[in-house]
Structure 1
Amino acid sequence: MSRRFSLPMTTEPPHQLFSQATVEYVGFDKQKANEIWTGWINWPPGPGRYEIDPDDGDLQVTFLDWIKGHASYSNDIWLDDDAGWIDCMRQKGIATELQQAIMDPKFKYMRMTGTCITWVRDTIKMRYAGLEDMARTESRYPGSPAGPSHLLSISGIATDSCNSTRALAATNESGMTVLFKAIDCARATGLLDAQGQLSRIGVLESTPPSDFSKNKSMFYFTTSFGMAKRYAAWAKRRTKCESIVIIRIAIENSVIESIPEGKIQRLHWPSPDWKEVIWRCRTKNQPSRALRKYADATLVIGTVANKPNEYYYDFQSGSELTETSVLKVDGPGGQQPAIQFAFSSEEEGEDLLLEAASETFQMFSFISADMEIWMSETNIG
């Protein structure tokens, strides 16, 4: 039997960004939201100012910073203990609807790639970014709808659904390697200009530490449309009015083959180098001299790692990693290691990505109908 997906019952966005209603909207229960809001409007005198104060050169605390600060990492949990996760969120005053979204059994595999508070904070940022985007749209186009309709695209560029004929046709292209990335629209603000041309590719960067970098941002894309849809579905499960899209680019195989030796590296499970690079990057350990070639590469193609950073601190070296450290995706022969392309955020890597994206960029909306299809087709928890 298929499981029907529906958005949370309470999806009406608050009318004012700076309000207790916003604190509730992003994921706190009414009691905790009142406490957070009361603290905000009764900002104590002294150094520091908050976002709506006049700029006097002092340190600024944004409303989002203030809200996130009440979902601190104290007592965070990442182990497979559902009761512990729920208790962690209850202690922080997280609303029941967000608890249920994060703990949805259908998404356990994705949930276990991060920690409890990491997902809480990610959801808060995603929902808040959506509200900011609505506020910008209302300012630009007074009287426009405050609901999700205007968020179905970035910069007003129309997009097809992820299950449209156009989207499915775009998953393969002769002589090309096709890459995908799921992201919520609001946090991709500025990616495209008003004409639909790439403007700020930097909004797609992943901050360190990450699989292939301990201290530098990188651009990560998956080769699997199915994996991108899984990430999109996980984000969609935690949204309210925010829209999710999957970005698609393609890079010519001949371009990949022409990258100078040393500037392209391949790192795949179960090679000793993959294990050691993942362990060192995730734990922020200095790479050995033999592994520095991966940090210097323009493009790294390799296996996606599983589990949050905290998991890797339990090991003394990468040699101890097992297949549990590998993120899997559905393939023709069953579950297979997921593959990613990681572009350096240095000039050479960004130029390579931009050259590919400028000619092949496409974007597909992951709407509620796509979510229903995904929920009915997947058996992965």
Structure 2
Amino acid sequence: MNEQNIRRENGIIEGNPAIEEVQNAVGRKVKRNYRGGKYRRPLQERIEFLRKKSEGGMALPYIAEKMNMTYISVYCIAREHNIVINNNDLTSDEIDNIREKAGRKYKKINEGIDSGESLEKIAKRGTFGRGCRPVSREMVNIYIRATGQYNYWKACKEKRRKRGKLLKEFNLEDRSNIIIYLKNLIEESLASDSVPWEEKMAAICILKRKRIILNGREHKNIPSRNIVRLFRIYKKGMDEGKKYTLNEMSQKSGLHSASESRNLLGRVGLKALNATRTNNRYSESVKKALRNSADLPISDSDLAYFLGIKDSPMQQYRGNSPFNENRTIRPGNMKAISYEKASKIYEAIDAGFTLEETAEYSNSQLKAVNYVLENRSELEKILINVLHRLYPERNIINPYQ
């Protein structure tokens, strides 16, 4: 047996520029099947298996798993033997799973892909592999194509280009203009039916943080793409009945800790999928009303009054609203007036009470009663809308129950 056959029998490849690039990047020889052992397939059999599966439409990552080989090794073999693999129609969930299986050594490359950076910029992010050798743009290109992220990377590049163009249209010295504009865009997306659920939830989180992540500032915040990924994983768990722990969701979405996941979920009134504690104080109809009340401009105590319940555990079901900073009536230099008191004032006046009796019944000052009555046309609409939302099956015509 000559030297070339001996080297092929040992699974070592030489003479192919793409594979030599991989060898240089990881600092060691790339084998046809580095997990091989005595049961590995002969070279020609692996090539035929790869060709057959690619013709059947199977994506490269799944072929690599069946061949017990790395994505990059299979990609290089396919390119060497002119085997075309359809590898660009993977879903976001599939890409997340592939990244997880590829390992943490690709973390910096994945971050560059998410940011829509060029191959050169991604390559400058750091080292790769056990040999800690610098990453080349060709190595990045191979990884992107081998893991089916090419279309996703191109989409991220286009978003980056549009974001840069948008920022140039504004006066960068006046950051408030940019933030107001971006907040308006987010609120418009929340009203659209075409926006996926996970992106809407992420938008609510960003609005509630009251800080928009701008280009070049993401290292000081949680990147919005990680927030979207968290809610995508959460929705997948709900749909498939999988009870992911907070740690699992944090690892899959690129967050640093379970507490980050808990805080982000809590901002929109969600709890962990594996939570076992339940609160049976409320009926299902009351729980539903609480979950639908996040954007109502009333406080927890006011809401508890209209539902006839205690407000102590209400936050578990209601969550917080990013849209309403003022949950009480604020009449200038007077003390804030709750919507509960306003409702009682209208109820008493309609029942024929005097102003003094109304003030006593609602536990309010006389000037507060006068203010509520003077602004009845405006406040009455708010109260009726609140009652409509809480009791959609009822015919609400008055600002009280």
TM-score, normalised to structure 2's length?
A: 0.25
User: Per residue, is there more helix in 1 or in 2?
Assistant: 2
Larger radius of gyration, structure 1 or 2? Answer: 2
User: Per residue, is there more strand in 1 or in 2?
Assistant: 1
Bigger RCO of structures 1 and 2 (CA < 8 A, at least 6 apart):
1
